[in-house]
Amino acid sequence: MDKICDYCIHCYKPINIKDFFDKTLTPPNLCKWGKDIFKHEFWLCGSPDVSKTDHTNNTLIYKVCESVNKRGNCDFFRTSDAEDIIPSSVEIESSSEPIPEKIKTGTEIVLETLITPATIPAVTEEVVVEKEVPVTDSEGNPLYDSNNQPIMETKEVPETIIIVPEHENDQDIHYSYQWYKNGRKLFRETKSTISVDTSEEEVAVYTCELIQDIKQNGDGGKKHASVMSNEVVLNIVQPVINQIVLNVRTGSVEVVLPIPFKVSDYEYPFTASWAEDWTITSGTASAEDLELTSELLSNVTVECSEGISAEVTDSVRLNSSKENINGSVTITWESI
């Protein structure tokens, strides 16, 4: 054996059986000498980072390469057929629906990773083949015979053939995960998903590192890769509590408040013909011209005084159990 391994940086030391009798080395089984499948057991490593120095004559005492490279993780060892990892990419997305621009505190948000294996380009080859092609004139127009059939001739033409089609990388890659928040490692978050803490108001940037490995089999090559995901910005806010308080005196017919609705749209007392004998004695809001819109209906709650009831559909409908009851109706909703 005239060299240790292909593309090797430090393992240039040719085999020297005498070295194996050094008391610092464990000699290989000499019955395996000369057999290709065992030749790696006879390679010696000349890396100064690995081998010991004999200070009496300033020479290296070589170590058996296999003893320091048994897991195939030596940075200086690489055989001609070594396989490099082809990393996958990773994206973060929400597990349920698109992430809103603003997220109300207490909302359940789960982020998950979507891994996309690399695409391996097709392997092609340019060849020359014989084909029947139409005969053309100097301007490229096809020529025809007396039967009005195209005149054909055999020509050699270039053609691209696909030897291996484009395909998804099929390496057996082991994935592990590490989540980060605002650039800081979340040590306990090492799964493919993360449940975000939305208990407090904040703006947080989440990323996930995808750590990838293929099997170390002693052939060398790059076995590890790490890629970062996209950034996901979560804007967690406290909702605004909107409130309209109506002081009413009921009548014999229900009151219907159309939506959109805001206090400043109405004069008091309220005397529309379809609300005869009803009066809204006053109306107050937590903000000037506070408006309830149809987009907010699913978030509306109504609290009424005893004897008054309310129903919220596409409007707010107020009823009473009997006539002439004084009370209040509080319409509340959240918005962010």
Could you tell me the pTM of the whole model? 0.62
pLDDT range class, residue 267, cuts 50, 70, 90:
confident
**Mean pLDDT, rounded, for 104-133:** 92
- Quick: pLDDT tens for 214-259: 987 767 778 899 999 999 999 999 988 888 898 888 877 777 888 8
Question: Regarding predicted confidence, which is higher, 184 or 33?
Answer: 184
Beta strands in 121-238 (DSSP E): 123-134, 152-164, 167-168, 174-181, 184-185, 193-195, 202-213, 224-228, 232-237
Q: List all residues 6 or more positions away from 267 whose beta carbon is below 8 Å from its beta carbon.
A: none
Q: Report whether pLDDT(316) > 80.
A: yes
pLDDT at 212 over 80: yes
Express each pLDDT in 69-93 by its tens digit: 655 556 566 677 788 999 999 999 9
Closest residue by Cα to residue 178 from 203, 214, 207, 215 = 207
What the chain holds in terms of domains, given with CATH numbers, is: 1-80 (no CATH), 89-119+169-237 (2.60.40.10), 122-165 (no CATH), 240-335 (no CATH)
pLDDT higher than 60, residue 204? yes
Q: Looking at 20-34, 44-58, 134-148, 160-174, which range is the least confident one?
A: 20-34
pLDDT value for 193: 96
